[in-house]
Structure 1
């Protein structure tokens, strides 16, 4: 599986399925493998940050720089595990854990007011003032029982973002 020019075996497909908690069907994994091979222009079995940025939807994402630290150097199995957060078969808790990693920019297991504020800046750009962002964030945290000084772990983060209406899904085209 390290060499992208090789084909996936049934064992490889089942191993990847197991690794991503069956978030994708076998047919979807084969399609993802074809896409992985297209992105892996060097043929080294890993996708670099530059190769990820060749995907237009990724490049224009306001969070792309944060996501790059999560995706740079992924092999195929890790690539599928990364994408599994966007599967309709992935639980809300798994999606929230993924979002937590995006917000936890220093990877210390805690999300601060400033971490969330940085994300809001990325997402809102000039559409909101700094004061509006702070006001909205303070309100959301207070509604969940937290303050501006709170350090949120994944459980706290789940409480703040655990909205059953949270949608974070993409469809994998199957050839």
Structure 2
């Protein structure tokens, strides 16, 4: 898959579509490929963290530094898989798995109280104190049946977020 939309074959489109569990239509995949090529300024077939930061919405996201660890060096297929969690066609399970990866920054399959506190700190900045963050997080965990000492795994996130009506969607403009 080269660096121009004319190099994206029907086979490539179908392969990417299958890889992302049909989260995007073929037309959306073509649009995503065009956007990927715009981001891939070096033309190397991968998008770097710096290239991702050229997207204003990404750069101002309070979680951008966490997300950069997930996106640095993605090829097109991985780029679409990353974005598939934001598709309206993505399942709740796919969305929760994505959120879990954001919290599990070291990739060990477990999320600690401090991991959650770090994300909350990223999201709230200076708007609330560290004491308030700790209190809020402790209360949320207790209401869900966990403690500060709990190590949460993916199934815990599914249990906690599974009935939340979680909305994470991005519209892919198509020509």
Q: CA deviation at 1:160?
A: 2.1
RMSD (Å) for aligned C-alpha atoms: 0.9
Q: Mind listing any 5+ residue stretches in structure 1 that lack a counterpart?
A: none
Checking the alignment, whether the CA contact within 8 Å between 1:92 and 1:164 is kept in structure 2 is no
- Find the counterpart in structure 2 of residue 135 from structure 1: 135
Residue 4 in 1 paired to residue 9 in 2? no
Q: CA deviation at 1:165?
A: 1.6
Residue 115 in 1 paired to residue 115 in 2? yes
Distance 2:3 2:93 in 1: 32
- Find the counterpart in structure 2 of residue 41 from structure 1: 41
- Find the counterpart in structure 1 of residue 58 from structure 2: 58
Distance 1:164 1:17 in 2: 27
Q: CA deviation at 1:100?
A: 0.3
Q: Mind listing any 5+ residue stretches in structure 2 that lack a counterpart?
A: none
* 3-state SS of 1:41 partner: coil
Which deviates further from its counterpart, 159-168 or 77-86? 159-168
- Find the counterpart in structure 1 of residue 103 from structure 2: 103
* 3-state SS of 1:111 partner: coil
Q: CA deviation at 1:162?
A: 2.3
Checking the alignment, whether the CA contact within 8 Å between 1:101 and 1:107 is kept in structure 2 is yes
- Find the counterpart in structure 2 of residue 14 from structure 1: 14
TM-score by length of 2: 0.97
Q: CA deviation at 1:7?
A: 1.9
- Find the counterpart in structure 2 of residue 164 from structure 1: 164
Distance 2:132 2:87 in 1: 33
Q: CA deviation at 1:164?
A: 3.4
Q: CA deviation at 1:131?
A: 1.1
Moved over 3 A (4+): none
* 3-state SS of 2:111 partner: coil
TM-score by length of 1: 0.97
What is the number of equivalent residue pairs in this alignment? 174
